[in-house]
Amino acid sequence: MIRFENVGLRYGTGREVLSDLTFSIAPHSFQFLTGPSGAGKTTLIRLLFLNLKPTRGLISIFGKDTALLRRADMPALRRRIGVVFQDFRLLDHLTTYENVALPYRVLGKDEASYRADVADLLDWVGLGDRKHVYPPVLSGGEKQRAAIARALITKPEFLLADEPTGNVDPPLARRLLRLFLELNRLGTAVLIATHDIGLMDQLDVRRMVIEGGHLEIYE
């Protein structure tokens, strides 16, 4: 589904922040991406959702070489990828409900067709009673859950989550992990970037460890 071959990335004329990354992500797989701060986790995630272009190497996403992608082709690919950002990226002028429903609005769907889905998912992540609230009055954990709900709402084929449990307490972190597992069971490949060793220890899955721009994979 996703394939990296000898991918390197540098900003401007600086040193390479990612070097010789070669790996694949299979459909329905589940993996953690970990490593110290500044190791390149977020940069790798940005490469994975087409927000950055590599300076060398090949990236193939859903069978398409990203170097050959036209700008007009990107939206269709991005719709197959859900992203949870470390800083949430919720739109402050939209309610929680509207933020979560945003991917459907982008697709031009009628609100009646997704209203129940959005409400169900908000209930599931514990935000059922906060759906008419704007993000500035949500707590960090609530924003985190709203961001996760927005990434999951269209049931993407590949979910990228950058520190999705960084702002929630352990019980909620476990609940969110169950949500990711459930999504994975339904067919979505999941990659979770995290520092939380306790979270990773709960699952015996593939670990991708990035350090100094180099990647080690523990199957």
Q: How crowded is residue 23: how many other Cβ atoms within 10 Å of its Cβ?
A: 15
Please tell me what DSSP assigns to residue 94.
S
Cβ closer to another protein: 78 or 206? 78
Whether the CB-CB separation of 121 and 115 falls below 8 Å is answered with: no
Using CB under 8 A, pick the residue from 27, 109, 137, 139 that binds another protein: 137
Binder to another protein among 6, 27, 65, 91 (CB under 8 A)?
Answer: 91
30 binds another protein (CB under 8 A): no
Binding to another protein (CB under 8 A) within 48-77 occurs at 49, 51, 71-72, 74-76
How far from 16 is each of 76, 83, 89, 185, 217, CA to CA, in Å?
A: 30, 25, 27, 36, 20
> Which one, of 180, 214, 218, 219, lies nearest residue 41 by Cα?
214
Looking at 54-62, 101-109, 120-128, 195-203, which segment touches another protein (CB under 8 A)?
Answer: 101-109
- At residue 203, what is the residue type? L
Tokens of 14: 């600086």
- Considering only residues 151 to 210 of the shown chain, the ones binding another protein according to CB under 8 A are none
Rounded Cα–Cα distance for residues 31 and 115 (Å): 31
- 15 is an interface residue for another protein by CB under 8 A: no
Six-digit token string for 46: 């940005």
Among 3, 64, 78, 214, binds another protein (CB under 8 A): 78
Strand stretches in 26-97, DSSP E: 30-34, 56-61, 64-65, 81-84
Nearer to another protein (CB atom), residue 4 or residue 97? 97
Q: Of 22, 28, 113, 115, which one interacts with another protein (CB under 8 A)? A: 115
The answer to whether 23 contacts another protein (rule: CB under 8 A) is no
CB of 10 to another protein, least distance (A): 19
Residues lying near another protein in the complex (CB under 8 A) are found at: 49, 51, 71-72, 74-76, 78-79, 83, 89, 91, 93-95, 97-98, 101-103, 105-108, 111, 115, 131-134, 136-137, 150
